[in-house]
Structure 1
Amino acid sequence: MSLAAALSRSSQAFDRLLPADWQVEGSREYRNHTLPSFLKPGLTVWDIGSGRTPMISPQRKAEIGMTVVGLDIDPEELKAAPPGAYDRSIVADLTKFEGDGSADLVVSHCCLEHVPDNRASMRAIASMLKPGGRAVIYQPSRNAAFSRLNMILPEAIKLKLLGALPDKGGKGGFKAFYNHCTPAQFKRLAREHGLEIEQERVFWNSGYFQIFPPLHVLWRGGQALFRLVAGEQAAESFMLVLRKP
């Protein structure tokens, strides 16, 4: 076992002493449970910002029988996606995009923190959805400690630190703005664009400090105090299911 793995296990052992809701990792919950519960045969799904890492594998898409449209601002990201991942690829700036109202489901996972204007993003998402369609969105919160660090650290240092994480930081290598990225602000933007809040959930766990156990414990203590003051606004990340009437 590597030193980094051993240190991470120490932090995880500490987390097991905490209440159950502190232990749920939001991204994993979204990918393994929430999103699959919305995948049905015959749906038209728009996957926004996933690029080379589609949220629905080509195999799963074929098994269920869905049409998946991939939208990303970077053409190279879309080209790098596995063969068959997208039935149609659209290169577009989400903040300037106008949908055609064809989507049964819009999928967004760790994408919108990289968009500088999420009021425009929410308008675009609403325009993609057909009446009765849903958007299933998972987001890190701008109030999380790692988000604050992401906004202030120089890019070179940030990328080096992200490289030490088990998943290399996911999409953390892209510039992040965290525009309106809190549960309350996202819900407000959704309502402004005529979308109903069908489900919401906040998460309190992330792995950003696990390889430094003393810092991880210190972070958990600060997080507990912040939660007492700010409630769900102190969450690490959040998930929303929005419905177009």
Structure 2
Amino acid sequence: MLTVDFDKLGVRPGQRVLDLGAGAGRHSFELYRRGADVVAYDQDAAELEQVDEMFAAMKAEGHVPDGAQAQAVVGDALALPFPDGHFDCAIASEIMEHIPDDTAAMDELVRVVRPGGRVVVTVPRYGPERVCWALSDEYHEVEGGHVRIYTAGELIGKLADSGLRPAFHHHAHALHAPYWWIKCAVGTENDGHPLPKLYHRFLVWDLMQRPWITRTAERLLDPVIGKSLAVYLGKPGAASAAG
């Protein structure tokens, strides 16, 4: 399930791309499949081991273009071990809401992107997220959980203050918002409740089958209750020849 629209981001083969807060690697795998040189970066070493294994399997099975490279790197979002301007593009998907010092993380993200490069940041959308917080304290009051809810204006303003120029934004995953509302209503740890289990089966079916009726419904509902906000930005400056 991808939150970032890679066609809109415009990633091309051979470009260096950072996936900050890569988690289980969903965006990193798509970048690799498209021929980018990917760094999947996260603080969870165990999860990144599995990401590295998937990178190796994708290459062995011929699912990536010749010459594409991918690696998983463990580290802190507040101290990225890369030189200034190292990446052509960077993704930070569903991570900023977890970081107490989000401004420092944004500054680091901008630092490692070259002038003329592109950045996309995604976070939970204000409205659907506010419903989750209202229904359940345990949804966000957990170690490593969400520490804030962004409005679109707040997120875009912070990223602009860090040196990025906003281009456009969209919303995604409208069909997932009701799932989390149900989970919060019945208890996020209540794994045996039939309502979230039934809805989760529906989401898995939709992900695997992608029927036109649910794809159309989500496209129409995304502007209204899309679970995620995705903001696309550029770093001012002259683009390099590779850009």
Shorter-chain TM-score range: 0.5 to 0.7
1:132–1:243 contact (8 Å) kept in structure 2: yes
Range moving further from structure 2, 87-96 or 139-148: 139-148
Cα deviation, residue 238, structure 1: 1.2
For residues 159-217 of structure 1, the C-alpha deviation after alignment (integer angstroms, 9 at most, x for no partner) is xxxxxxxxxxxxxx9732243632111111111111100112245824243596xx8xx
Q: Report the equivalent of 2:214.
A: none
Code of the residue aligned with 2:73 in structure 1: it is: I
Cα deviation, residue 115, structure 1: 1.8
Matched, 1:122 2:86: no
Q: Report the equivalent of 1:207.
A: 176
1:118–1:179 contact (8 Å) kept in structure 2: no
1:1-245 matches, within 5 Å, as 30-31=3-4, 34-37=5-8, 38-57=10-29, 61=32, 64-81=34-51, 82-84=54-56, 87-97=70-80, 99-100=82-83, 101-144=85-128, 145-149=130-134, 152-153=137-138, 175-179=144-148, 181-202=150-171, 205-210=174-179, 236-245=227-236
1:115–1:178 contact (8 Å) kept in structure 2: yes
For residues 105 and 148 of structure 1, do their structure 2 counterparts lie closer, same or farther at Cα, with a shift above 3 Å needed? same
Runs (4 or more) in structure 1 with deviation over 6 Å come to none
Code of the residue aligned with 1:148 in structure 2: it is: W
Structure 2 CA distance, aligned partners of 1:204 and 1:88? 28
TM-score (norm 1): 0.61
Structure 1 CA distance, aligned partners of 2:147 and 2:165? 22
Structure 2 CA distance, aligned partners of 1:140 and 1:95? 21
For residues 124 and 243 of structure 1, do their structure 2 counterparts lie closer, same or farther at Cα, with a shift above 3 Å needed? same
For residues 206 and 120 of structure 1, do their structure 2 counterparts lie closer, same or farther at Cα, with a shift above 3 Å needed? farther
Stretches of structure 1 that go unaligned for 5 or more consecutive residues are 1-26, 159-172, 216-231
Range moving further from structure 2, 177-186 or 190-199: 177-186
Stretches of structure 2 that go unaligned for 5 or more consecutive residues are 59-68, 186-222, 237-243
Secondary structure of 1:70 counterpart: strand
2:177–2:227 contact (8 Å) kept in structure 1: no
1:44–1:104 contact (8 Å) kept in structure 2: yes
Range moving further from structure 2, 65-74 or 85-94: 85-94
Structure 1 CA distance, aligned partners of 2:235 and 2:136? 32
Code of the residue aligned with 1:93 in structure 2: it is: D
TM-score (norm 2): 0.61
Structure 2 CA distance, aligned partners of 1:150 and 1:55? 30
Structure 1 CA distance, aligned partners of 2:89 and 2:122? 14
Secondary structure of 2:110 counterpart: helix
Range moving further from structure 2, 234-243 or 185-194: 234-243
RMSD: 3.4
Equivalenced residues, count: 180
Secondary structure of 1:175 counterpart: coil
Structure 2 CA distance, aligned partners of 1:67 and 1:190? 24
